[in-house]
């Protein structure tokens, strides 16, 4: 079993064990692409908030490749894939009573989205 | 999981209270929970995603009534028992012993 020794502590606490992985994976989207979020409701772990499922947004920024939490939480392996900052118009999520100027940015994995 | 943790957009939860000069830990036991979590991670016992899911699986009423580091403690207990490193009996025995020492 691996053991945490005192000299390892500062680095472990400072980095927090990033989920970023250094592997080449082809991104499914690029900034500017319009997407629709998949309406998935897994009984297991997901990082996809309920309030964006089925909604349309626009890819703003590609963060790079990260472990996929939905499989990693259940022994299904890291399934590395791109994570993007995705912009949703506030009124697309919360209706016409909210400001048309406001947006919500959410980090989403490739497997959460389809082209709109 | 469509659980209690996914509260985005929910009404009636009250304002987010910000504490001036908030300390990293409010109680000494929270330091210990933090250290246990880091060391069990380093020992390769579980991934951060398993920990998050263990928190999501908490009883919803307990989740809402408990603090951040109580969530961490609950997740560690759940996972270490599920993975066979601790038994529920050992946990209960230690709880009873501590309760007696502090009564």
Q: Could you give the domains of chain A?
A: 31-115 (2.30.30.50)
CA distance linking residue B13 with residue B103, whole number of Å:
35
User: What per-residue string of b and e applies to A14-28 under the rule 16 or more CB within 10 Å gives b?
Assistant: eeeeebeeeeeeeeb
Residue-wise pLDDT tens digits, A1-58: 677 788 887 877 777 667 899 999 999 999 999 999 999 999 999 999 999 999 999 9
Continuous segment of H or E residues that includes residue A75: none
Distance in Å, alpha carbon of B35 to nearest chain A alpha carbon = 9
Contacts of B1 in chain A (CB under 8 A): 42-46
Q: Which residue has the tokens 């560690």?
A: B76
- Given an 8 Å threshold on Cβ–Cβ distance, is B44 in contact with A1? yes
Contact of B63 with B55, CB cutoff 8 Å: yes
Backbone angles phi, psi at A86, to 5 degrees: -120, 130
Q: Tell me the whole-structure pTM to 2 decimals.
A: 0.90
Residue-wise pLDDT tens digits, B19-37: 999 999 999 999 999 999 9
Tokens, residue B81: 């028992």
Q: Which of B24, B45, B47 to mutate to test the interface with A (most CBs of A within 10 A)?
A: B47
Cα angle B81-A4-A6, degrees, rounded to a multiple of 5: 140
Helices B28-42/B68-82 angle, 10° precision: 40
Nearest to A49 among B8, B52, B56 (CB): B8
When pLDDT is averaged across residues A78-102 and rounded to a whole number, the result is 96
Start-end of H helices in A5-96: 9-15, 69-72, 90-94
Contact of A46 with A70, CB cutoff 8 Å: yes
Contacts (Cβ under 8 Å, ≥6 apart) of A39: A53, A54
Contacts of B53 in chain A (CB under 8 A): 44-45, 73-74
At A56 the pLDDT is 98
Q: Which CATH architecture has domain B28-101?
A: Orthogonal Bundle (1.10)
- Given an 8 Å threshold on Cβ–Cβ distance, is B38 in contact with A12? yes
């Amino acid at each position: 079993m691996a053991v945490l020794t005192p000299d390892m502590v500062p680095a472990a606490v400072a980095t927090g064990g990033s989920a970023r992985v250094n592997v080449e994976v082809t991104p499914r989207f690029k900034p500017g692409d319009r997407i629709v979020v998949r309406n998935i409701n897994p009984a297991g772990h997901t990082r996809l908030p309920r309030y964006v499922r089925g909604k349309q947004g626009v890819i703003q920024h590609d963060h790079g490749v990260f472990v996929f939490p939905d499989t990693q939480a259940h022994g299904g392996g890291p399934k590395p894939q791109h994570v993007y900052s995705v912009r949703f118009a506030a009124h697309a999520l919360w209706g016409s009573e909210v400001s048309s100027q406001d947006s919500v940015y959410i980090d989403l994995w490739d497997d959460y989205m389809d082209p709109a | 999981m469509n659980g209690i943790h996914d509260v985005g957009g929910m009404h009636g939860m009250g304002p987010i209270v910000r504490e001036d000069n908030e300390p990293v830990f409010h109680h000494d036991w929270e330091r210990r929970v933090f250290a246990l979590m880091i060391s069990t991670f380093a020992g390769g016992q579980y991934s951060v995603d398993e920990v998050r899911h263990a928190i999501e699986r908490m009883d919803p009423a307990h989740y809402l009534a408990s603090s951040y580091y109580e969530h961490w403690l609950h997740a560690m207990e759940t996972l270490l028992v599920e993975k066979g490193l601790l038994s529920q009996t050992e946990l209960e025995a230690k709880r009873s012993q501590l309760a007696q020492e502090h009564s």
